[in-house]
Each structure stands twice: as structure tokens, then as C-alpha cells.
Amino acid sequence: MIIVTGGAGFIGSAIVAELNARGREDIIIVDDVDDVDHDEKEDNIAHLQYDQMIGIAEFREQLLAGDFDNQNIEAIIHMGACSSTTETDWSYLEDNNVEYSKDIIRWCQSHNVRCIYASSAATYGNGENGYDDDEKLFDKLVPLNLYGKSKLLVDIWARDGRFLNEAVGLRFFNVFGPNEWHKEEMMSVVAKKYPDVASGKEMTLFKSYEKKYGDGEQKRDFIYVKDAVRAVLFFLDHKEIGGVYNVGTGKARSWLDVARAMFAASAMPEKIEFIDMPEHIKHQYQYFTQADTSKLASAGFDISENYALEDAIAEYIQDYLAPHRHIGA
């Protein structure tokens, strides 16, 4: 049995879909049952095959009570967390992102169960200390928001407690792709701006407030969700590997690259307007991210198989956004 927390969400449901493609249906999905009344989140899993679904609170209670101790659990893939980079309630993040993850990682180690958990590139802050996933460098990192802080605290705790011999933390960079509609304001720019692009309207991008970056030239390491899932399942297949790994393409691309790829994939003329950045995000805006993928490549993951940005955006728009189709459907 494989447990996928956040299994009705973005990356989680894509993982379940890929497990189904492998012929696996012995899956327990853990998610906020009350939140699955969101139409898009329901549609993420409506066509998927799984054994049962458990609410988050119920799962944590059962896990700590020992209800899973004698079950044949192969792995817990822990994608469930608050992913909002603007969340300001630290007590909520501490419980939902930090303590919840610790509960799962501890249980997995004590029961010899594979644990793969989601970390984040938000741990790197503004990148002044680079994007190297060497565990010795964790203490130098300064996240720009509480979400990043919550992810970094788990990585440091897992390192210091020597849980990373068996567990794997994956620092996802800018993941985009099908099954993210329910994220609303936290959707990728591709999903958010597609309706404007498809209807012939202007696509808006933020102005730059750093002299070395022109408007729209701010850069991110964008990774397609199918490649993120491929990395997750690589570590499921290689249980002998532990540690924290960056999951990105290793290639920073600009927002203008994204916009141009979207117009090309939609067969629409380019119309781009630069707008002011909201004040509340100026202080935590990342102008550049680029995963150091050398450690991931050394582990045996084939980075060369990752989608190119233009190919990923074309597939996303043409196969998923335009027909409003969910992954695996």
C-alpha cells in the first residue's frame, strides 16, 4: 500500500495518476475531505483508482495511534501542506507544515517505510547563498516568507535527526501543469493567464524593480509537473537513496519566455503589458531561481528527459487547459 498525502491536490493527484499508469491501485489518498467539495479538486481524482480516502486530521490521529503499524505500507509520499507563500499565520504553518511532516517522517523511520516529502525552493530565499542542496549549507539559508521557513525547518530537523538516511526531501522549484485549477491565486502564471491569452487580451507581467533585470526578464526554474512526478517516483524506485534534492530543470527562464511560449502555443499574436507589483509581495519577490541539479543527476535521475519549457507549455495548453482536461483522464 502507498499513502499519498495531498493526493487530491496538484502534484499529489498527478502522482496517483502516474501510479495508476504503472498498474498500482493499492493507494490511500489523504486530503482535506471538506475541501474536496472544490469542483476542480474533485475532478483531479474523479477518474483515478485508489483504495480509500482519509481526511488529514483522521489520518494523523490514526498514524499516531498505531492504526497503520501492522498494515503493509510500502511508502508515504507526503505532498500535503499549505503551499501559500503569502500565509502569515505561523501557528497554522508550524502545525500543518512542520509538525505534521515530522510525525510522518518519524513514523516512517521507526517502521522501515519509505518516506518522500515535499520541500521547496522557497527555502533559498533571494538566492544570495545559491541554490546548492548540500545539507551542510542549510543553516545559511534565509527564506523570504513563512512558507519557506516551514519547509527549511523540516529539512534541518530531518538532517540533524539523521532521518535523511532513509527519507527524501524534494525541493520543488516552480512546478506548473494540469490539475492546479483548484489552487486559484496560487496557480501558475500559465494557468492564470491562459484565458486572457486565448481570448486575445493582453497578458500582464510584473515590472522589475531591480536594475539588472528588465521588465519581464526576472527568471525562474520552471518545471513541468510530469517531470516533478518522475522525480518522486525515481526515489520511490530507489529506496536506497536518502537526502534532500532539488527538483528543477537547472535552467532559469524569463517570464517573457513563458509569455511568448503561451502565445505561440495558443496561436495568438503577442500582447504583453507590464504592471506594478503589489506592495505586499515586493519584499519577498524572487528575481532569479535556478536549481543546482548536480546532486540529483549524480543520484541517477536523467535530467535530460525533462520537458523543454516551450514543449511543456504547448502540451499544457493544447492537451489540458484548452479542453479543460485533468491529468490521467
All three cell numbers of 72? 503493509
Marked catalytic residue, from 50, 100, 124, 147: 147
Q: For residues 153 and 9, what is the distance between their CA atoms, to the nearest angstrom? A: 23
Q: For residues 57 and 45, what is the distance between their CA atoms, to the nearest angstrom? A: 20
Cα 75-55-61 angle, rounded to 5 deg: 75
Helix 10-21 to helix 225-237 angle (10° resolution) is 60
**Residue 57 Cα to chain centre, angstroms:** 22
All three cell numbers of 309? 519549457
Marked catalytic residue, from 183, 193, 219, 226: 183
> Is 211 annotated as catalytic?
no
How deeply is 40 buried, as exposed, middle or buried, from its count of CB atoms within 10 A (0-12, 13-18, 19+)? Answer: middle
Q: How many CA atoms, within 13 angstroms, populate the side-chain half-sphere of residue 49?
A: 10
Q: For residues 110 and 239, what is the distance between their CA atoms, to the nearest angstrom? A: 15
> Is 209 annotated as catalytic?
no
**Cβ(152)–Cβ(204) below 8 Å:** no
Q: For residues 303 and 297, what is the distance between their CA atoms, to the nearest angstrom? A: 6
Annotated catalytic residues are 147, 183
